[in-house]
Amino acid sequence: MKNFLLTLLCFIFLFSSSVFAEINTEDVNVRVQNILEIQKPVDRIKELRSALKSFSNPKERIQFMRSFLAIKKERKSVKNLENKKIIKEKDEEREVEKLKSLSTETVKVDSVYDGDTVHVMLNGEDEKIRILGIEAPEMREGKKSSYKGEDSKKYMQNLVEGKEVQLVRDSTTKNRGSFGRLLRYIYINDVDMGQKMIEEGYAKVYRYSVFAKKQEYLNIEKQVQELEKGIWDGKEEQVNNEKTSVNSSSKNTEIKNIILNCNYAPYCSYLNSCEEAYFFLNTCNLSRLDRDKDGVPCESLCGK
């Protein structure tokens, strides 16, 4: 109500005339600042009225009120910005304190599954910890691991297995991943183990979620790529091609070893030549190789 009366008073004087008188701008600004420094609205209005009465010319009063309104608006804008900054700083401080108090646990790493997953005992429960922000080569049970998978696991074992670590939660991402694993950064003596894995080329940056250290990790990864360390040594494709070639060669050798044995009954797609097809048709009486009963087996190999 008091602010409304103050604004109303300003407009009454503002529109009482359309012609302005010249008064000392510096003096006006100082006087306006002094009025706005008064804390109580009632006292501020009294002082404003007193200031207006000191001008005998209505035009001077109007100019004074215009200056008053302009300075008041500017001060309000500055104060709002300062308040927003203070609120933001306090929110950030509370977030940091919350992270420290609620999201940091010291545990011992019992075992390492692979380069980005470890086992710990937390609050009496066996928990899998998925190290936040990194993606290490896969370890496949009963199958060959991804390129550098074994090296990545061994490096993580050297870093954390059997040691006490600090698990730190990131408030910008969820608590657990899609497989129910806890998502945490892992530190030892303030050293980030996930970052260490990226620096040594044993893990990539996980790109499919948001987390606080993502850009920092990406910058490190770019440098490691340029150095061609670990998984970035350019040999992954070559190794994969060699594995494929060996597997293909083993399969072909196995087929050739059984191809002229009537104990086996291959289909046309398993045979390498027309001679082999005739062997199984005529010697082994494998009639399914000659579906149209024209005496020519496996038209795809022998034709008509």
What is the DSSP track for 32-81?
HHHHHT--SHHHHHHHHHHHHHT--SHHHHHHHHHHHHHHHHHHHHHHHH
| 280 close to 297: Cβ distance less than 8 angstroms | yes
Minimum mean pLDDT range among 87-101, 125-139, 153-167, 207-221: 87-101
Give the end-to-end CA distance of the chain in Å, rounded to a whole number: 105
Of the candidates 138, 205, 131, 118, which has an alpha carbon nearest to the alpha carbon of residue 168?
Answer: 131
pLDDT band, very low/low/confident/very high, at 192 (cuts 50, 70, 90): very high
Give SS3 for 103: coil
The upper half-sphere exposure of residue 58, i.e. CA atoms within 13 Å in the direction of its Cβ, equals 8
Domain shared by 111 and 224, yes or no: yes
User: What's the confidence (pLDDT) of residue 96?
Assistant: 56
pLDDT band, very low/low/confident/very high, at 294 (cuts 50, 70, 90): confident
Domain shared by 108 and 226, yes or no: yes
Please report how the helices 25-36 and 58-102 are oriented relative to each other, as an axis angle in degrees rounded to 10.
Answer: 50
Residue 20 has pLDDT above 80, yes or no: no
- Interval 248-277 mean pLDDT: 65
* Helical segments of 54-166, H only: 58-102, 149-160
| 21 close to 63: Cβ distance less than 8 angstroms | yes
Neighbours of 69 (CB within 10 A): 15
Give SS3 for 188: strand
Q: Which residue has the tokens 């997953």?
A: 117
- The answer as to whether 27 is a domain residue is yes
Domain shared by 181 and 219, yes or no: yes
C-alpha dihedral, 264 to 269 to 275 to 278, nearest 10°: 60
Domain shared by 17 and 128, yes or no: no
- The answer as to whether 194 is a domain residue is yes
Final residue before a domain boundary, out of 216, 232, 248: 232
Domain shared by 174 and 61, yes or no: no
Domain shared by 126 and 222, yes or no: yes
Could you give the number of structural domains in the chain?
3
- The answer as to whether 242 is a domain residue is no
Residue 13 has pLDDT above 90, yes or no: no
User: What's the confidence (pLDDT) of residue 141?
Assistant: 58
Q: Which of 173-182, 193-202, 272-281 has the highest mean pLDDT?
A: 193-202
Domain shared by 228 and 283, yes or no: no
Final residue before a domain boundary, out of 56, 75, 94: 75
The upper half-sphere exposure of residue 208, i.e. CA atoms within 13 Å in the direction of its Cβ, equals 3
- The answer as to whether 51 is a domain residue is yes
- The answer as to whether 14 is a domain residue is yes
Burial of 128 (0-12, 13-18, 19+ CB in 10 A): middle
Domain shared by 224 and 265, yes or no: no
- The answer as to whether 89 is a domain residue is no
- The answer as to whether 254 is a domain residue is no
What pTM was computed for the model? 0.48
Own/partner long-range contacts of 105-108 (Cβ < 8 Å, ≥24 apart): 105/166, 105/167, 106/164, 106/165, 106/166, 106/167, 107/164, 107/165, 107/167, 108/162, 108/163, 108/164, 108/165
Domain shared by 115 and 201, yes or no: yes
Domain range spanning residue 184?
104-232
Q: Which two tokens stand for residue 294?
A: 């024209």
Domain shared by 197 and 272, yes or no: no
User: What's the confidence (pLDDT) of residue 129?
Assistant: 94
- The answer as to whether 34 is a domain residue is yes
Domain shared by 212 and 110, yes or no: yes
Domain shared by 288 and 179, yes or no: no
Does 235 or 203 have the greater pLDDT score? Answer: 203
